[in-house]
């Protein structure tokens, strides 16, 4: 990466793109998305890698190659379909819930960090350095473009170079060209992403070329505190079997690893449920459905024994 870029500036650059991709400073390691009209089809993870590009297959394969990965055997069953870029996976609830659950596995978070650095961040820093871009904000623009796509195409539409125009003027011109290109796209999903260039333009207006912290990007705070926090929607506990899971309207919803594993087990049994780690009304109803099928008392409450039995199955 450019020699003048500090570790904090690199983290800030990644945070900006995380906000563009998943609306989270640290990224959403379990986010599963399918956008109508998106040629990438199923997308997943902190920087939303896609089925259509083949990168989702490569990411999952890298995870499965790690012997310590909790869900490696189950995800390995999907590798042939991922390799074929089978768009039927866009609507496969078992795969979607399994991918969501991997966010709780530190192995997957590490794999994603390494994967996105290798595939996007390091090539972006190399591309930036090759044409004389060294400011943190300029590097962020290049990184965003490599993640989002068409860096080369828009780069070649800007007259001159960072050396002849000056880096700040060249980046400003590039951002304008990219915004125009996005706004004029025939694809609705691309037109909807002009906010990325609007956010960068705001940083340019504020003369934030050095990306000094704290920053506010799209209403989110990027600071030393938020950069060192815990990724959202990831759970390290409670462990299954340590509490009953119940839904009541007069108390905060239960959240955690045990909830996610119960939801995943119910999904494996065909239940229409989202494995988001939050035990809400739908989760209680699906537990009741399972109890009915299994001949258990129908309470909608997953007691410790049921939680342990279901979680062990996954």
pLDDT tens for 241-254 read 999 999 988 889 99
Among 82, 63, 81, 83, CA closest to 72: 63
At residue 227, the pLDDT reads: 96
Q: How far apart are CA 43 and CA 51, in angstroms?
A: 6
Mean pLDDT computed over 32-40: 87
For the chain, the structural domain boundaries read 7-227, 254-313
Judge whether 95 and 88 are in contact, CB under 8 Å: no
Report how far apart, in Å, the C-alpha atoms of 175 and of each of 15, 133, 240 are: 19, 14, 49
**pLDDT per residue as tens digits for the range 258-276:** 999 999 999 999 999 999 9
pLDDT of residue 3 exceeding 70? no
At residue 194, the pLDDT reads: 97
Rg (alpha carbons) of the chain, rounded to whole number = 22
pLDDT of residue 223 exceeding 80? yes
The domain made up of 254-313 has a fold known as Muramoyl-pentapeptide Carboxypeptidase; domain 1 (1.10.101)
Task: With H, G, I as helix, E, B as strand and everything else as coil, classify residue 279.
Answer: strand
Assign domain 7-227 to its CATH architecture: Up-down Bundle (1.20)
**pLDDT per residue as tens digits for the range 69-111:** 999 999 999 999 999 999 999 999 999 999 999 999 999 999 9
pLDDT of residue 2 exceeding 70? no
At residue 105, the pLDDT reads: 97
At residue 118, the pLDDT reads: 96
At residue 313, the pLDDT reads: 86
């Amino acid at each position: 990466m450019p020699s003048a870029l500090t570790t904090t500036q690199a983290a800030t650059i990644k945070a900006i793109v995380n906000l563009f991709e998943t609306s989270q400073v640290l990224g959403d390691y379990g986010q599963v998305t399918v956008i109508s009209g998106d040629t990438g089809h199923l997308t997943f993870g902190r920087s939303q890698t896609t089925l259509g590009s083949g990168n989702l297959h490569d990411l999952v394969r890298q995870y499965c190659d790690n012997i310590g990965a909790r869900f490696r055997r189950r995800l390995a069953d999907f590798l042939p379909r991922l390799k074929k870029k089978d768009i039927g996976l866009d609507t496969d609830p078992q795969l979607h819930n399994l991918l969501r659950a991997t966010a709780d596995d530190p192995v997957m978070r590490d794999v994603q960090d390494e994967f996105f650095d290798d595939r996007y961040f390091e090539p972006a820093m190399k591309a930036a350095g090759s044409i004389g871009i060294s400011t943190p904000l300029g590097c962020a623009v290049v990184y965003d473009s490599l993640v989002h796509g068409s860096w080369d195409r828009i780069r070649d539409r800007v007259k001159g170079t960072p050396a002849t125009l000056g880096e700040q003027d060249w980046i400003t011109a590039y951002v304008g060209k990219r915004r125009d290109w996005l706004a004029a796209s025939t694809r609705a999903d691309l037109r909807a992403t002009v906010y990325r260039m609007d956010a960068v333009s705001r940083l340019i207006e504020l003369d934030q070329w050095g990306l000094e912290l704290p920053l506010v990007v799209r209403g989110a705070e990027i600071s030393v505190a938020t950069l060192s926090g815990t990724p959202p929607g990831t759970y390290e506990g409670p462990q299954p079997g340590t509490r009953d899971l119940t839904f009541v309207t007069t108390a905060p919803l239960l959240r955690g690893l045990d909830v996610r594993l119960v939801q995943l087990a119910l999904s494996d049994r065909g239940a229409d449920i989202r494995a988001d780690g939050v035990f809400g009304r739908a989760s209680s109803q699906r537990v009741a459905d399972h109890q009915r099928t299994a001949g258990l008392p129908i309470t909608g409450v997953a007691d410790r024994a049921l939680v342990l039995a279901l979680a062990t199955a996954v």
